[in-house]
Structure 1
């Protein structure tokens, strides 16, 4: 067999590294380096969860040996080198970053490990199992080989509750009908513990305030026959207190809406609403409104679920710094089981002013500083209402814009929000959501925008809607009234020329009044970083112009206008699905699929410009510049200000995958691939090739790259560098491929796209 010189070089390199990283010479004379242990598991009968059982026993083989990389103890070697009397800077650095303390055989106790294995087997029903071990010493190294003979397991024959005279006994007997401890299951100590905890949880739900799982004992009788069967008996401990086995009822409910140590007792007054006492001096919160947030009822059994939800609802009002629900046992509780519930509410400061200086990075690649001045008034009408007044000044400039120039923006804005922590409707509605409080939000705002000398835009908006969390993962928001009045007050000759060249674009700016309804739904399981499989599903539905069109058809008047302005008429929807596979705490594969479409109809031939989709940029297909894709296979003759407005569409499809991993400290890395494009619903002569067709899949752009992120938990600065792999506006047989001429300056300028953004892309 012919051996190539390259293979000889690799062999020699590995040999030199192994010799260089040898740790034998550093091991003390009276020690052996522990190299690990093996486990041989034997059983005369098949074991259903054999792999899990073996893995559990292997977890008892302590300590863990030092790690090896390519057969070498690199971490241990760096420790030894860095521990010398004069190690030098490099060795100290390597020890600090990669060093591992040596694990010697003197730290290993095979006899104790054997006892632990036998005990663990007994806990799993394998009584009378046998464990042994052999030590293998080889030079300066030592290892252990464990052998375990697993006995035939004990299986459950029958289970019974020792008594049935008290109410709690009857409840336990009823709960045991749903137990996982069925005839034929193997003895398992952890399952017995879980069963006690289940009974405790269920009993607390029906009022057993003082119950504790430690009051219960499972006794096993293994001497009933020779078939290795056992009977289980569930009973109470002899020292179980009587207060632990009686149900509790809520007697008095006292609420302190303005709790503080400085409140004067002689000025405190009590108002009773629906059996609840509201105790306060000056009325801080109207008792009739506050009562709606409290789910506890006088005379009902104690419920930990209602207690938790009541605290959540009171906290979600947004007016209280602390919410403290305490239960006090009455003197007769030993026999009757009565509780008083006291709810202490500590308000936040009523008024606050906050100044925010922000660095803003938008999805359209505009970035710059923004100054927000926010005034907040809490509990405005003594019903938990919050009023926010926000004044904004922002300057933005388009970064990574390639040949685009002059695209900057100055924004001035003023917005007022009034939030009611309840449903406000023209008919009285008592909300039924136990998890959280639905909120009503009313907003009025105006904004002035000067876009790079091209045009000035004045926007007036009004919204009325509701939002709430149905549970920990589900969020809803609906705005039955959503109004936007857009006035293009001044345009430059340059922008007029852009509009003249694209009638569709002109019409999208002319549609100046948007009135409709929108709904948002989010299902989010991404926030838990310890969850292996995280998923997010978000969808938005936006309908505009239908109500106005219906009113016009009834009342008459000029079609397609309202108060003298053309109004937009369209339907728009999108779906955003994200899936995270967390390989471990620090490594994640994140994916996203996005689909959105808008359909103009009636008196509209195109979507309003602010409602159109675009592709490319830091939160989209990162290998293409902002608005650098589409629609379809359209490619502008030159990249200028006109193309910035042209490259948008009514349909957007996109897919992304990203592998995220740590680099150093707060610096994270990523490898990613993106695909997507936008299309038009209707044909536009100014944008040939832009219409959505059945051949859409052949018009997708694909790009890939790598990124670096400074992630300090609550703030992420992101840098991504990407290059195209598939370009949809090239001829069909030339769309795939890239020459990757990294040495060429012109290639780098055209094919390496740098993206800067705040936050993760998805």
Structure 2
């Protein structure tokens, strides 16, 4: 065992022994501290979260086996006010001594501070859980009710309180369920002919089914299902209260006979209630007021349009194309009333991001029809945004950024939004060139995004992607320029994509095309940026190769160094030397690898791709902690132009690649799969897991993946025991500043728990790495050859703290290299497992 692990274990043992006798410090003489609950179901222990959540009393929460919050609470004095009053204010001598050193006001502040600190200890801590037999009886009753609601009608529950020494006690609950009851016959008694007719069509989809075990929750779901189906079939006045169930278990030998009862509509007057059959309602009219405000109510309309049976009104000149609004409205004149149409209308109108929350009023007419009035209050046409940022990094001493933006709503009268964003920043580099100004780093750019709330297409797409899926189109153009940062770059990009939501859980995105052009402006600065590559090259020049004197300079101390300005010439000199290749093959290979990496990272990139992504998200809300998310993406680049280049007979360049606008375009296929799962374990305990697999395969016009499309490993949201870009590829012995490859595999697990109030903790294990596969890299250890390469998966573990600010979570993690593939196969475990080699990560929100 490593010395660090032994120290941690000793610390835990000492802490537990010191705290054990302090746990009952605030437990009265005739009271007992609850230390354990156990539930036995039919002679078998059940520690599941579902069962334990039914118990009214639970032992104090523990961290590493220690009830930390209980001990914090015990540090507080029960009657601090009276103690201080008696100790200071009622003691003239002591008060006199204190007021000699401090003023009376300072003494009062000191006392108040001690009282407030005592309150903080109580508020932060957790009072001891004292055994209360009345609550124990309630817990036993709740266990009994739970099993009755799940079909065990003959269940019996008992409990036993086991009192131990030192004012501690354990409670054991015993449950004997007996035989579960099963649903047998299911009939229906329905008063309204209309409802009876509709029920016959939907009864085969019932949640309650013959032969299944009785569960109360299924009857609740069935009641909700019937109500939803009927309201979406035109029964306007229907709700769940009209659905009831008559249960018969007498003489059925463990079976349950069910009669579904649906009453007539109840019409209440001040003196009586009368019952009438339900009727199906239709939509007579839909009125849309496009510029409603509280001040405008009651005023006459100045403009109106009738479009596809809809009536649109405006207090001023009509500012919207009718189709843009009616496409967002699912309530259709002449159609049967459907509750879901109202819900979809609310959602789609909100997605337009042009109006405040809409108001839909439905008025009942005498002929079983409804008149709907939709009131829309427009948001301001123009919205200005402005943000600033001050930062520092390993590149710059200080950086200042300004990000103004302009949002224009309804720009083409079709509820479109146009967003124009600009970025401008300046910074001071940590290693400025002689003669450069203080702010020698700058970046500026412009980003334009147009969002259209429908599919912008020359084809009719309603049959493929209906409007209830909230389809939208986004067109974007962006350009940025960086100077004095690395190689200096100009980037131009453009995209045309569709988004739609088949249901509440699924999100689809289709990039019809995505164009990205990256131009490097300062290639000569490569070896200043990638200093490790230059260091390796210099080592060969000084110690291995017979380097001509014109390539060698002397530093300030007179030591020989390689002339950095002639690095490219030296590389060509070595690679043209066939004799050196024979006598020093490893060093020759290293120089060739340096050149290949330099050529790849300095070449201009032209990427023209299409992609499709799918997200399946089971979360019901932001606070849901029991869900799964599946993400997938498929991207294809360069195929269209590769086919066109061949058909048109274009000539290839010296590297056997087709060019477009004098740039060799990239051709590859890339796919990604990610699965995230959370388990809510109760008491703010969550087990989270994430897995990721991605691969990008170059072919045709490319033999490698552009840097912007490759994978990297490490960082605060990946394997946290390594910094970003420092891990991999594989087990290769690399010291490059930026390591990347075209295959990635990751698996992470994290146990999250509450410490106190908004402070949470976590322990985690991250595993994964990146490799090269099916490209032009053949570096030993970097290539994924077979499943045997999985032995190079790096494993990091650690712990962290999270503070929840409600609108975001501040995260601090410490990652330790647990299994490091950079070492020899038999010596990879716990080599750098210590705080001096740990990686400290700061992040916002959870990593997954």
TM-score, length of structure 1 as denominator length: 0.79
User: Is the contact between residue 745 and residue 770 of structure 2 (CA under 8 Å) also seen in structure 1?
Assistant: yes
What secondary structure, in the 3-state scheme, does the structure 2 residue paired with 1:662 have? strand
1:521 to 603, 606, 614: 614
User: Is the contact between residue 386 and residue 402 of structure 2 (CA under 8 Å) also seen in structure 1?
Assistant: yes
Q: How far apart, in 2, do the equivalents of 1:460 and 1:67 lie? A: 58
The equivalent residue for 2:236 is 209
2:339 to 292, 304, 308: 304
The equivalent residue for 1:587 is 685
2:266 to 233, 236, 240: 240
2:196 to 159, 169, 173: 169
1:351 to 382, 389, 394: 382
The equivalent residue for 2:448 is 416
The equivalent residue for 2:796 is 703
User: Is the contact between residue 371 and residue 393 of structure 1 (CA under 8 Å) also seen in structure 2?
Assistant: yes
What secondary structure, in the 3-state scheme, does the structure 2 residue paired with 1:734 have? coil
Q: How far did 1:374 drift?
A: 0.6
Q: How far did 1:252 drift?
A: 0.9
Q: How far did 1:302 drift?
A: 1.0
The equivalent residue for 2:403 is 372
The equivalent residue for 1:627 is 725
The equivalent residue for 2:741 is 649
Q: How far did 1:457 drift?
A: 0.9
Alignment of 1:258 onto 2:356 = no
The equivalent residue for 2:83 is 86
Q: How far apart, in 1, do the equivalents of 2:822 and 2:168 lie? A: 64
Q: How far did 1:195 drift?
A: 4.1
Q: How far apart, in 1, do the equivalents of 2:606 and 2:763 lie? A: 43
Cα deviation code 1:703-754 (max 9, x no counterpart): 2222233332333333332232233233333333316465xxxxx2xx2222
The equivalent residue for 1:745 is none
What are the within-5 Å matches in structure 2 for residues 21-40 of structure 1? 21=24, 25=28
Q: How far apart, in 2, do the equivalents of 1:124 and 1:682 lie? A: 56
What are the within-5 Å matches in structure 2 for residues 145-294 of structure 1? 160-162=187-189, 166-172=193-199, 175-176=202-203, 179=206, 194-219=221-246, 234-235=260-261, 240-241=266-267, 245-263=278-296, 265-280=299-314, 281-294=316-329
The equivalent residue for 2:107 is none
Of 169-178 and 126-135, more deviation after overlay is shown by 126-135
User: Is the contact between residue 319 and residue 378 of structure 1 (CA under 8 Å) also seen in structure 2?
Assistant: yes
Alignment of 1:668 onto 2:700 = no
Q: How far apart, in 2, do the equivalents of 1:702 and 1:684 lie? A: 27
User: Is the contact between residue 380 and residue 387 of structure 1 (CA under 8 Å) also seen in structure 2?
Assistant: yes
Q: How far apart, in 1, do the equivalents of 2:40 and 2:715 lie? A: 57
> Structure 1: 5+ residue runs without aligned partners?
1-5, 400-405, 743-747
Q: How far apart, in 1, do the equivalents of 2:814 and 2:141 lie? A: 56
Q: How far did 1:618 drift?
A: 2.4
1:484 to 516, 521, 539: 516
The equivalent residue for 1:433 is 466
From the superposition, tell whether residues 172 and 359 of structure 1 become closer, same or farther in structure 2 (CA, over 3 Å). Answer: farther
Q: How far apart, in 2, do the equivalents of 1:132 and 1:616 lie? A: 53
From the superposition, tell whether residues 245 and 649 of structure 1 become closer, same or farther in structure 2 (CA, over 3 Å). Answer: same
What secondary structure, in the 3-state scheme, does the structure 2 residue paired with 1:86 have? helix
Q: How far apart, in 2, do the equivalents of 1:82 and 1:21 lie? A: 14
What are the within-5 Å matches in structure 2 for residues 667-746 of structure 1? 667-681=759-773, 687-694=779-786, 695-738=788-831, 740=833
What secondary structure, in the 3-state scheme, does the structure 1 residue paired with 2:504 have? coil
What secondary structure, in the 3-state scheme, does the structure 2 residue paired with 1:288 have? helix
Cα deviation code 1:497-524 (max 9, x no counterpart): 7776322431453243222222322222
Of 563-572 and 674-683, more deviation after overlay is shown by 674-683
Q: How far did 1:362 drift?
A: 11
1:392 to 397, 419, 423: 423
Q: How far apart, in 1, do the equivalents of 2:778 and 2:161 lie? A: 82
From the superposition, tell whether residues 677 and 409 of structure 1 become closer, same or farther in structure 2 (CA, over 3 Å). Answer: farther
Q: How far apart, in 1, do the equivalents of 2:794 and 2:38 lie? A: 53
Q: How far apart, in 2, do the equivalents of 1:192 and 1:438 lie? A: 36
> Structure 2: 5+ residue runs without aligned partners?
1-8, 85-113, 268-274, 431-437, 528-564, 572-593, 653-657
From the superposition, tell whether residues 374 and 92 of structure 1 become closer, same or farther in structure 2 (CA, over 3 Å). Answer: closer
Q: How far apart, in 2, do the equivalents of 1:626 and 1:36 lie? A: 44
User: Is the contact between residue 76 and residue 119 of structure 2 (CA under 8 Å) also seen in structure 1?
Assistant: no
What secondary structure, in the 3-state scheme, does the structure 2 residue paired with 1:672 have? strand
Q: How far did 1:202 drift?
A: 2.2
What secondary structure, in the 3-state scheme, does the structure 1 residue paired with 2:74 have? helix
User: Is the contact between residue 79 and residue 100 of structure 1 (CA under 8 Å) also seen in structure 2?
Assistant: no
User: Is the contact between residue 514 and residue 608 of structure 2 (CA under 8 Å) also seen in structure 1?
Assistant: yes
User: Is the contact between residue 313 and residue 436 of structure 1 (CA under 8 Å) also seen in structure 2?
Assistant: no
Q: How far apart, in 2, do the equivalents of 1:149 and 1:319 lie? A: 60
From the superposition, tell whether residues 395 and 614 of structure 1 become closer, same or farther in structure 2 (CA, over 3 Å). Answer: farther
